[in-house]
């Protein structure tokens, strides 16, 4: 899929907006983020824009802010990160490559959400139960707080079968684009395509709000999830990398 640089930048900005950190600061255009806990996005620097002329000085300030929080210095890059060549600069400065994720994109198609999918403005107790069980313990406390700060328009999707929620998803829409977050399935219900139903409902809802594209970011090594998204028409358009100071 050919995707314009403008679309890639808009998607990256929306992913940042859709997962708001507890504390932020602008450092020469970069967005420094800190939230504590194990969330990588909410504890790393978003590198969409850079308006300075001294990258080393900007990194000095990044690292000083993380030291003050007794947290490791982390940055998040993607294919269009600024300034150009940032991954090489980070490697030379002693940063190691952490988790790699892939941005995938599909067309938001109008449709009727599956009847088994419930849509709500806030996460229910069952929604939280399923999602929290699917993430590492270190991320649970901070992610629970982030979920209550998700900006509007947003909705939470729950797939209910046999009286209980088996899959979840979250969607945030802005300026013709949407992003999917928190796609999870109860362990005992895996293989039942509950996430497919959640994503179909999500794409239909996004289209109803005028979104023409839906993006998501998935861990590169999570091949079952990537296969799911491909079935739904998503294609890889960008690579994202977390960097951690050794």
| Residue-wise pLDDT tens digits, 212-234 | 999 999 999 999 999 999 999 99
Using 50, 70 and 90 to split pLDDT, how confident is the model at 1?
low
Q: Does residue 231 share a domain with residue 131?
A: yes
Does residue 245 lie within any of the structural domains? Answer: no
**Domain for residue 242, yes or no?**
no
Co-location of 97 and 17 in the same domain: yes
Whether 232 contacts 203, CB under 8 Å: yes
Residues 176 and 196 in one domain: yes
Q: What is the pLDDT of residue 2?
A: 73
* Mean pLDDT computed over 26-31: 98
Residues 172-200: pLDDT tens digits?
Answer: 999 999 999 999 999 999 989 999 999 99
Residue 195 CA to residue 240 CA, distance in Å, equals 23
pTM over 0.85: yes
- Where in the sequence is the domain holding 214, given as residue range(s)? 106-237
Q: How far, in Å, are 62, 212, 222, 226, 227 from residue 46 at the CA level?
A: 11, 25, 23, 24, 27
């Amino acid at each position: 899929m050919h995707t314009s640089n403008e679309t890639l930048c808009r998607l990256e900005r929306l992913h940042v907006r859709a997962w708001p950190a507890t504390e932020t600061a602008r450092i020469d255009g970069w967005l420094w983020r800190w939230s504590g806990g194990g969330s990588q996005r909410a504890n790393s620097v978003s590198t969409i824009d850079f308006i300075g002329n001294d990258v080393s000085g900007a990194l000095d300030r990044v690292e000083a802010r993380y030291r003050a929080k007794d947290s490791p210095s982390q940055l998040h890059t993607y294919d269009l990160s600024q300034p150009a060549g940032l991954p090489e600069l980070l490697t030379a400065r002693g940063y190691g490559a952490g988790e790699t994720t892939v941005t995938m994109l599909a067309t938001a198609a109008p449709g009727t959400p599956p009847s088994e999918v419930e849509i709500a403005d806030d996460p229910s107790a069952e929604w939280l139960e399923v999602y929290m069980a699917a993430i590492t313990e270190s991320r649970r406390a901070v992610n629970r707080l982030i979920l209550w700060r998700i900006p509007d328009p947003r909705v939470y999707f729950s797939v209910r079968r046999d009286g209980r929620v088996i899959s979840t998803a979250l969607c945030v829409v802005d300026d013709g684009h949407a992003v999917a977050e928190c796609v999870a399935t109860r362990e005992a219900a895996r293989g039942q395509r509950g996430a497919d139903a959640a994503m179909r409902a999500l794409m239909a809802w996004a289209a109803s709000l005028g979104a023409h594209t839906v993006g998501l970011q998935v861990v590169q090594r999570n091949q079952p999830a990537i296969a799911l998204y491909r079935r739904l028409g998503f294609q890889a358009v960008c690579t994202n990398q977390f960097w951690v100071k050794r």
